[in-house]
Amino acid sequence: MAPGLLVVALFLIGGIYSIAATPDNATASNARSALIEEGKNIFMRGCSSCHGLNAEGSGIAPSLIGVGAASVDFQVATGRMPMADMSQQAMRKKPVYSPEEIAALAAYVASLAPGPAIPTAEQLNYERDGNVAEGGELFRTNCAMCHNAAAQGGALTAGKYAPTLMGVEPVHIYEAMITGPQAMPVFGDQAITPEEKLSIIKWIKSVESEGSYGGASLGKVGPVTEGLLGWVLGLGSLIGIAVWLATKAR
Amino acid sequence: MSTELEPLADPGLPHHVHRKADTDPAAEKRAERQVSILFLLSAAGTLLFIYSFIWIPTDVFVFLPLLGNTNAHQLGIGTGLGLALFFIGAGAVHWAKTLMPDEEVIAQRHEMRSSDEDRASFVETVKEEAGKVQLGRRSLIKRSLGLALGLVGLSPLIMLRDLGPLPEQSLLKTTWDKGIRVVTDPGNRPLRPEDLEVGAIAHVLPEIKDPEHRKLSDIAKDAAILIRVRPSELKLSEERMAWTHEGIIAFSKICSHMGCPVALYEQTTKHLLCPCHQSTFDVPTGAKVIFGPAARPLPQLAITVDDEGYLIAAAPFDEPVGPSFWERNI
pLDDT of residue A23: 52
Band (pLDDT 50/70/90 cuts) for residue B64 is: confident
Q: Which of B232, B178, B188 is nearest to B209 (CA)?
A: B188
Closest by Cα among B216, B277, B287, B276 to B251: B287
Q: pLDDT-derived band of residue A75, with 50, 70 and 90 as boundaries?
A: very high
> Measured between alpha carbons, how far is residue B309 from residues B43, B60, B182 in Å?
73, 54, 12
pLDDT of B3 over the 60 cut: yes
pLDDT value at A33 more than 90? no
> Is B267 in contact with A190 (Cβ distance < 8 A)?
no
Q: Cα torsion for B107, B108, B109, B111, to the nearest 10°? A: -130
The whole-number pLDDT of residue A5 equals: 67
Average pLDDT over residues B3-32: 85
Alpha-helix runs per DSSP H in A21-98: 24-46, 48-51, 68-77
pLDDT given at position B298: 94
Mapping DSSP to helix (H, G, I), strand (E, B) and coil, where does residue B203 land?
strand
Residue of chain A whose Cα is closest to the Cα of B67 = A216
Residue A12 binned pLDDT confidence (cut-offs 50, 70, 90): low
pLDDT reported for residue B86: 96
Q: Which of A217-221, B89-93, B316-320 has the lowest mean pLDDT?
A: A217-221
Q: Is A141 on the interface with B (CB under 8 A)?
A: yes
Residues of chain B with C-beta less than 8 angstroms from the C-beta of A184: 267
Give the DSSP letter string of B111-180: -SSPPHHHHHHHHHHHHHHHHHHTTTT-HHHHHHHHHHHHHHHHHHHHHGGGGS---TTTTT--S--TTP
Judged against a pLDDT cut of 80, whether residue A4 lies above it is answered with no
Does B280 contact A at CB distance below 8 Å? yes
Chain B CB contacts of A138 below 8 Å: 186
Cβ of B191 under 8 Å from any chain A Cβ? yes
The average confidence (pLDDT) of chain B is 89
pLDDT of residue B172: 86
Q: Quote the pLDDT of residue B46.
A: 97
The more confident residue out of B309 and A88 is: B309
- For position B15, what pLDDT does the model report? 81
Higher pLDDT pick, B310 / B327: B310
What pLDDT score was predicted for residue B17? Answer: 82
Per-residue pLDDT band for A17 (boundaries 50, 70, 90) equals low
For the stretch B148-187, pLDDT in tens is 999 999 999 988 888 888 877 888 888 999 999 999 988 8
Mean pLDDT across the stretch B2-17? 79
pLDDT for the residue B326 = 83
**Segment among B39-43, B65-69, B249-253 with least mean pLDDT:** B65-69
pLDDT value, residue A6: 66
- Does the beta carbon of B52 lie under 8 angstroms from any beta carbon of chain A? no
The confidence band for B4, taking pLDDT boundaries of 50, 70 and 90, is confident
Q: Is B222 in the A-facing interface, judged by CB distances under 8 Å?
A: no
Residues 6+ apart with CB under 8 A from B284: B229, B233, B234, B235, B236, B270
* Residues of chain A with C-beta less than 8 angstroms from the C-beta of B98: 249
Question: Cβ–Cβ contacts within 10 Å for residue A134, how many?
Answer: 18
The Cα diameter of chain B in Å comes to 115
Q: How far apart are CA B172 and CA B170, in angstroms?
A: 5
Q: Kindly state whether B85 is in contact with chain A, defined as any CB-CB distance less than 8 angstroms.
A: no
A48 three-class SS? helix
What ipTM does this complex have? 0.73
pLDDT score recorded for residue B330: 58
How far is B227 from chain A, CA to nearest CA, in Å?
A: 9
Q: How far is A106 from chain B (nearest CA, A)?
A: 21
Mean pLDDT of A120-142: 90
CA distance to A228, B33, B207, B208, B229, per residue, from B181 (Å):
46, 78, 5, 9, 21
Cβ atoms of B74 and B81 closer than 8 Å: no
Per residue in A173-230, pLDDT tens?
Answer: 999 999 988 889 999 888 899 999 999 999 999 998 887 777 777 888 878 888 999 9
What stretches of chain B adopt beta strand conformation (E)?
A: 61-64, 68-71, 182-184, 201-206, 224-228, 248-252, 264-266, 271-273, 280-282, 288-291, 300-301, 303-305, 311-313
pLDDT over 70, % of chain A:
90
Sign, CA dihedral B36-B37-B40-B46, equals negative
Residues of A in contact with B266 (CB under 8 A): 156-157, 160, 183
A20: confidence class by pLDDT, cuts 50, 70, 90: low
Give pLDDT, residue B52: 95
pLDDT at A171: 93
> Model pTM?
0.75
Q: With an 8 Å Cβ cutoff, are B192 and A187 in contact?
A: no
Q: Do B68 and A193 touch (CB under 8 A)?
A: no
Look at residue B144 in the predicted model and tell me its pLDDT: 93
What integer best gives the mean pLDDT of chain A? 86
- Tell me if B196 and A212 make a contact (CB, 8 A cut-off): no
Closest CA to B94 of A218, A77, A34, A245: A245
Coil/strand/helix, residue A122: coil
Q: DSSP for B212-230, please give it.
A: GG--HHHHHHH-EEEEE--
**CB < 8 Å from B in window 161-220 of A:** 162, 180, 182-193, 196, 211-217
Does A114 touch chain B if contact means CB atoms closer than 8 Å?
A: no
Q: How far is A155 from chain B (nearest CA, A)?
A: 9
pLDDT at B55 (0 to 100): 94
Q: For the segment B250-308, what is each residue's pLDDT rounded down to a tens digit? A: 999 999 999 999 988 998 889 999 988 989 999 999 999 999 999 999 999 999 999 99
Question: What are the start-end ranges of the H helices in chain A?
Answer: 2-20, 24-46, 48-51, 68-77, 99-112, 126-129, 132-142, 144-147, 170-179, 194-209, 223-229, 235-246
On whether the CB atoms of residues B254 and B261 are closer than 8 A, the answer is yes
> What is the pLDDT, as a whole number, of residue A22?
54
Q: What is the mean pLDDT of residues A130-156?
A: 90
> What pLDDT does residue A165 have?
92
Angle at B196 between CA B309 and CA A199, to 5 degrees: 115
Taking alpha carbons only, the member of A184, A162, A106 closest to residue B227 is A184
Residue A162 and residue B267 in contact, taking contact as beta carbons nearer than 8 Å: no
Q: Tell me the pLDDT tens digit for each residue of B203-248.
A: 999 999 988 888 888 898 999 999 999 999 999 999 999 999 999 9
Q: Are residues A250 and B20, on separate chains, in Cβ contact within 8 Å?
A: yes
Is the pLDDT confidence value at B119 over 90?
yes
- CA dihedral sign, ordered A172, A178, A179, A184: positive
Cβ contact (<8 Å) for B68 and A212? yes
What is the residue type of A222?
G
Chain B residues touching residue A221 (CB < 8 angstroms): none
Closest alpha carbon to A45 in A98, A110, A105, A113? A105
SS3 (DSSP) at A162 = strand
